[in-house]
Amino acid sequence: MKLATKYIHAGTEPDPSTGAIMTPIYQTSTYVQEAPGVNKGYEYARSQNPTRKALEDAYAQIENGKFGLAFGSGVAATDAVIKLLSPGDEVICANDMYGGTYRLFTKIFAKYGIQFTYVDTTDVDQIRKAISAKTKLIWIETPTNPLMNITDIAAVSAIAKEAKAILCVDNTFASPYLQNPLDLGADIVMHSATKYLGGHSDVIQGCLVMNDVALREQLYFIQKSCGAVPGPMDCFLVLRGIKTLHVRMQRHCENGEKVARFLRNHPKVGRVYWCGFEDHHNHGIAKKQMRGFGGMMSFTLKDDSVDNARRVLSSTKVFALAESLGGVESLINHPASMTHASIPREERIKNGLTDSLIRLSVGIEDAEDLIADLNQAIG
Ligand SMILES: *Cc1c(COP(=O)(O)O)cnc(C)c1O
């Protein structure tokens, strides 16, 4: 089935009780049983909910996996993956990843005795060298946030298999429309559905998708035991978002390319980080594993001062100054003081995330309006 057809029909069946074409919002906490232990497969809504079930099936289908699990946020999905581990286990992860993931690893899980080793995952040899007998999980994000670095998923998956470690890929930035990590050998795909999957900046949610039934059972056990489940209304919103993922992503890609090329030709712009450029250092891998390059990018200004970056950030009229990404409207963000403020400055700068870096989530408005807005803001 082609992507457009798949996204529109993923997970949804006419409702068995009425024939409703849209999955109803089952706003209930419990289900009446015919006799003790005799039920319709639904007992208590932390464990099962029909709206969530439809969405979890949709998640599985759009990532070419067998099983999907929905969580109350992207970080709750990440939290569930780390809870597969025990004290003493080691995780190898990227040194350039979502700030909230870094915070969860360093501030919450490190104190439970789980060890995190941060490497430049774009260089797979660094991952290979970091592997030890205790390595249980490799966590990568590609493209990375905000520097748009690309890691070779198939190559890392081969290393993970050899080490008998689980490979989990945060696929939030690419979305399933552009990249499907399970097809490249990953064990788990994680999404912040808050972003492209929801697509309208009106919901917080996360998901995991996997093929292995034992892994699904463990993660389902964590989901229901720890309880970070999304409500049915939020599940409904993401189900609706997924139906237009392909048309939104096509426009995000088209607009992204136009904005990236505009910025690159602007005399006051320094570096532009966008993985669609032919001379982007990982463009070959991006082309191999992605169907397009999306609307996420970062750039610096030639006048590389924080004040100049702040001036641009405060001058856009169409681009809204806000955290988050992947919605239909364009956003502009200052990673150093906003999304990545939880990473110590020294660490940030070492990884290329300078004080003047500006990140864009290019939305699906008219590209000419977006370019005119950036042009007046850069001045
Ligand atoms: C937003 C985001 C997360 C966290 O998701 P929430 O839904 O905000 O909890 C994780 N990874 C990436 C790449 C993100 O952009």
- For residue 146, what is the enclosing H or E element? none
Which pLDDT belongs to residue 89?
Answer: 98
Give the mean model confidence (pLDDT) for residues 12-32: 95
> What are the pLDDT digits (tens) for 175-226?
999 999 999 999 999 999 999 999 999 999 999 999 999 999 999 999 999 9
Pocket of ligand 1 (CB under 6 A): 73-75, 98, 100-101, 141, 145, 170, 172-173, 192, 194-195, 204, 206
If you take atom 11 of ligand 1, which residue's CA is the nearest one? 98
Q: Exactly one of 52, 53, 136, 195 is catalytic; name it.
A: 195
Structure token digits, residue 281: 């250092």
Work out the burial of residue 41: count CB atoms within 10 Å of its CB; fewer than 13 is exposed, 13-18 middle, 19 or more buried. exposed
CA distance 222 to 231: 17
Which pLDDT belongs to residue 70?
Answer: 98
In the reported structure, the alpha carbon of residue 71 is separated from the centroid of ligand 1 by a whole-number distance in angstroms of 12
CA distance 60 to 57: 5
Q: Assess whether 46 carries a catalytic annotation.
A: yes
Q: Assess whether 359 carries a catalytic annotation.
A: no
> What are the pLDDT digits (tens) for 68-79?
999 999 999 999
Which pLDDT belongs to residue 112?
Answer: 97
Which pLDDT belongs to residue 344?
Answer: 83
Do residues 363 and 295 lie in contact, with contact meaning Cβ atoms separated by under 8 Å? Answer: yes
In the reported structure, the alpha carbon of residue 17 is separated from the centroid of ligand 1 by a whole-number distance in angstroms of 36
Q: Assess whether 98 carries a catalytic annotation.
A: yes
Between residues 320 and 352, which one has the greater pLDDT?
A: 320
List of residues 6+ apart from 362 with CB closer than 8 A? 252, 255, 256, 259, 295, 296, 297, 330, 370
Q: Assess whether 170 carries a catalytic annotation.
A: yes
Structure token digits, residue 188: 């788990």
Which pLDDT belongs to residue 302?
Answer: 92
Nearest atom within ligand 1 for CA of residue 194: 7
